[in-house]
Amino acid sequence: MKFKILVGTLLFTLLVTYASEAQRRKTPFEQYSTVSFGLGTSSYLGELAPYRTPVRSVFRMMRWNVNAGYTRNFTPHLAARLGFTWARLAGDDEYYNRGAGGNPFPNFYVRNLHFRNDIKEFSLVGIYKLRGDGRSPNRRVAFSPYLFAGIAVLAHNPKAKTPQAPGYDNNWVALQPLGTEGQGQPGYAKPYSLVTYSIPFGMGFTWRVNNQWNVGIEGGVRISGSDHLDDVGGLFPNSDVLKNDLARAMSNRTIEPIAARTGRDRTDIVRQIVYPNQPSINPFAAPLDGWGEGDFRGGGRGDNYLLTNITVSYVLPSKIKCPPIR
């Protein structure tokens, strides 16, 4: 499915270029360019932010993004944009699933994984403006809704906090080098790449302020080519094959009494989930059944994210046309 989407977006981008050239020859439209800068929000959807509760997942751990772009307007309706976005994604089992009685995903709470990931996205998207511009930049429409789709390359590096326990400093560490699901060890998959692709698509609106400036609002989904933006995607490994004690600590966090990111005590809630009729037992005295070697650590679904932003764009001056010499 992702391959089909990738091919479709590439074809769409090529279509924009082809159609723009054909349209340019038929109409006197004056092509123009804009540069834009924006700020907005980012939300992650994946194993640590369940798809089954989309509203809760989108808003509960919303983070930030900053972006910049260069847009070339080829025709009254068609444009293409090169963009860069720096965004933070985050998720946390303890934060999403805290509470025993009303907890929709108790197993996720016991799993006790979390992450943050500062991604750098370079994108090329085609834009279709639902209301076409006039034949020159100064005749842009006052309000312009648009659709966009394209392709992006992103660099990422998921991190998590080490335990709040003796021997650890509770600092953020990179997870990919640790091979938390056995990556790189004999009999396990190779380490996942820290560079992948995504498929951006969505819609936006721009308002003309004056001849040189626009303001806009945009929201879009990114379908990622990776299932490890959160470092979670497979099974719990045999802890003996992991590289060191830090890798073992970051791989299986079910018996941590204190949530590393929030500092909250997990004992009562884990006891209610795992040992509901034993109020005095210590749930962390031994490894927990169901969260060991060969059990699901992640759900195997791709990690996606949503970006929204408010942008300010500047219309670059057209080339100055010199009058003919008489």
Q: In whole angstroms, what is the distance from residue 316 CA to residue 50 CA?
A: 43
Nearest residue to 100 (alpha-carbon basis) of 286, 287, 275: 275
Residue 325 within a domain:
no
> What is the pLDDT of the chain when averaged over all its residues?
89
Residue 326 within a domain:
no
Residue 236 within a domain:
yes
Q: What is the pLDDT of residues 18-33, one digit of tens each?
A: 555 555 455 588 999 9
More confident residue, 20 or 255: 255
Residue 324 within a domain:
no
pLDDT of residue 25: 52
Give the pLDDT band (50/70/90) at residue 100. very low
Q: What is the pLDDT of residues 174-198, one digit of tens each?
A: 999 999 999 999 999 999 999 999 9
In this structure, the strands spanning 32-45 and 63-73 are: antiparallel
- Full residue range of the structural domain in which residue 55 is found: 2-315
* Residue 152: pLDDT over 60: yes
DSSP state of 193: P
pLDDT of residue 298: 87
How many separate domains does the chain show? 1
Token digits for 123? 């994108």
* Residue 287: pLDDT over 60: yes
- Whether 124 contacts 150, CB under 8 Å: yes
Residue 322 within a domain:
no
Bridge partners of 154? 121, 196
Residue 256 within a domain:
yes
Residue 321 within a domain:
no
Residue 86 within a domain:
yes
The CATH code of the domain that includes 282 is: 2.40.160.20
Average pLDDT over residues 208-225: 96
Q: In whole angstroms, what is the distance from residue 193 CA to residue 226 CA?
A: 8
